[in-house]
Every structure is written in C-alpha cells, then in structure tokens.
Amino acid sequence: MSDTTQFRVLDFDCPACASTVERALTNVDGVQHVDVHYATGRVEIEYDDSVAEPGAFAQTIENQGYTPQPA
C-alpha cells in the first residue's frame, strides 16, 4: 500500500541542494514520488510501505548533509 510522510528541512542553503535531496530520496527502495520544496523546506515522500523502510528517509536526508525534522 502507498503511504506518505513529510519532513521539514530548515537548512537548505540553495535550490540545487533541495534537488540533490530529492534525487537521493527517489533512489531509496520503495519510494514512488518525492517533492522537495526549497522555499518552504518541506519534503514530501510517497512510498510503498511493503518495500520501503521509513526510517531510511531521515538517514538519507542526513547523509546529504541536511537536518530533517518531523513535520
């Protein structure tokens, strides 16, 4: 089943940084759609909950050098 989750990243310092995170999240297993908004810092992830491990999302964002917060 498809599920969605949100994070808020307050420390994006350029629009390209947001696209990097978007690409990285898209590559996570089970992720169907990702929207990362530079302006508001909102990260929206749509994923297949039988495949994806939601814990991996925050880790992926951190790996790119940004701090995810629950939204």
Partner 1 sequence: MKKQSFTQYYRKHRTAIVTATSGLLYGGGWSLGYLTGFEMASAAILVLATVVGGYDIAKTAYHEVTNRTLGIKTLVTLAAIGAIVIGEYWEAAAVVFLFSLGSYLEGRTMRKTRTALQELLEMTPDTATVRRDVELQEVPAREVEDGEIVVVKPGEKIPVDGDVVDGQSAVNQAPVTGESAPVHKADGDEVYAGTVNQEGALEVRTTGAGSDTTLERIIRRVEEAQEAQSPTESLIDRFAKYYTPAVIVLAIGAYAVTQNAILSLTLLVIGCPGALVIGPPVSIVSAIGNAARSGVLMKGGEHLERAGKIDLVAFDKTGTLTKGETTVADIEGFGIADDEVLALAATAEKKSEHHLADAIVDAARERPTAATDGGAAVAQADDTDAGRQSIPDPDDFDVVAGKGVIAHTDGTEVVVGNRALLDDRDINVPSRIADYVRKREERGETVVHVIRDGDIIGAIALRDEVREAAPSVVAALQDAGIETVMLTGDNERTAAAVAEEVGINEYRAELLPENKQTVIEAYQADGHVVAMVGDGINDAPSLATADVGIAMGAAGTDTAIETADMALMADDLDRIPYAVKLSKATRWNVLENVGLAVLTVTVLLAGVLTSYVTLALGMLVHEASVLAVILNGMRLLRH
Residues that bind partner 1 (CB under 8 A): 8, 10-17, 19-20, 23-24, 27, 37-42, 63-65
Q: Which is nearer to partner 1, 9 or 50 (CB)?
A: 9
Separation of alpha carbons 47 and 27, rounded Å: 11
Separation of alpha carbons 24 and 46, rounded Å: 14
Closest separation between CB of residue 18 and partner 1, Å?
10
Tell me, rounded to whole angstroms, the distance of Cα 14 from its chain centroid: 16
Q: Which is nearer to partner 1, 22 or 50 (CB)?
A: 22
Q: Which is nearer to partner 1, 2 or 19 (CB)?
A: 19
Separation of alpha carbons 21 and 59, rounded Å: 11
